[in-house]
Structure formats: structure tokens, C-alpha cells
Amino acid sequence: MKNVFKRRKEFSGSLYSVATVQEEVGLRGARTSAFGIDPDVGIAIDVTHATDTPDVDQKKVGEIGLGDGATITRGPNINHIVFEMLVDIAKKHKISYQVEAAARPTGTDANVIQVTRAGVATGLVSIPCRYMHTYTEVVSLKDVESAIDIITEFCLQVDDSVNFIE
């Protein structure tokens, strides 16, 4: 993991970290948290299905490898400027990442963050997970570290000069 904290860069914003509840039954925690905070930008962090296992048709669900880096989602409820910033950060800092396509809203906290109040520029960074929703879920520490590094660098780049609306 990169040690981004050794760099002495001033952080000019306010940062809120929220651990939400009831995502699976209506995204309730994210809805109330985003409403209360009223952020300019929000990054949802979740897990996503690793698809590098037998019997998974990658032509239907895409290629997401365990240990290949966190995923950065592109889709209808993801702000394209946030997406591009996350990808550019990963490339610039040589952080492993994968792009995940979402043909419809993702079913993650990103959905309700995006439509809170007058709307929030939203991104989604996910950690590939094998055997999701079972007793034997497996993730790679490399992917966790990748997510941490991408999100940390993103936070350090956001200031009043960044406009998430074209």
C-alpha cells in the first residue's frame, strides 16, 4: 500500500465517512446520511462479484478478477467526471484498478447518494469478492489496498476548483 500520508498536502475540504446500514432492504442508511450531510460529491464503497471462477459467463457479467485491483464503476447513476477522476488517479499513481460496467443503477448506496436533495456527484469503488452473500466470502488485500489508495488520492484532489457539473 502506498503511504500517501507521508506527503504533506493540505486537505482543504470537509470529509465525512459513514458506515451505513440496511443497504439490502432499501438503501436506508445511505439515504438518511447523504440527506443529513448534503455533500458536493459522494463515493460509495462496496464489494462486487469477482467473476474469475468456474461456471461464470464473463460474456454476460464482465471480467472482474480477484487480486486485480478495486473496480471503478461506470454507469447511469455514476457521475462521469467523478469516474474519469478516479480512473485518472489510478493511472497517474499506478494503482491497480478494473472498470466495471453497470447497465442500470447499481443497487449500491451510490443509487440514493446520487438522487439526494438536488443531486450529488457520485462514484462507486468496489472490492472484488468471491462467493458473495455466503459464509465463505473471499477478498484480496491487494484489492482493499487499491481501493484505499484510489479514494485517498481522490480526496486529496477535490477542492473548490473541481466542478462536477459540465
**Residue (of 126, 49, 20, 38) closest to 83 by Cα position:** 126
Contact call for residues 62 and 52 (beta carbons, < 8 A): no
Answer for the pair 112, 151: CB distance below 8 angstroms, yes or no.
no
Per-residue b or e along 25-52, where b marks 16 or more CB atoms closer than 10 Å to that residue's CB: eebebbbbbbeebebebbbbbbbbbbbe
Which cell goes with 88? 485518472
Is 10 known to be catalytic?
A: no
Which residue in 10, 23, 100, 166 is the catalytic one? 23
Strands (E) in 50-159, as ranges, are 70-74, 97-101, 121-129
Q: Which residues contact 164 (CB under 8 A, 6 or more apart)?
A: 40, 41, 79, 81, 82, 121
A 10 A CB-CB count for 143 gives 27
**Residues recognised as catalytic:** 23
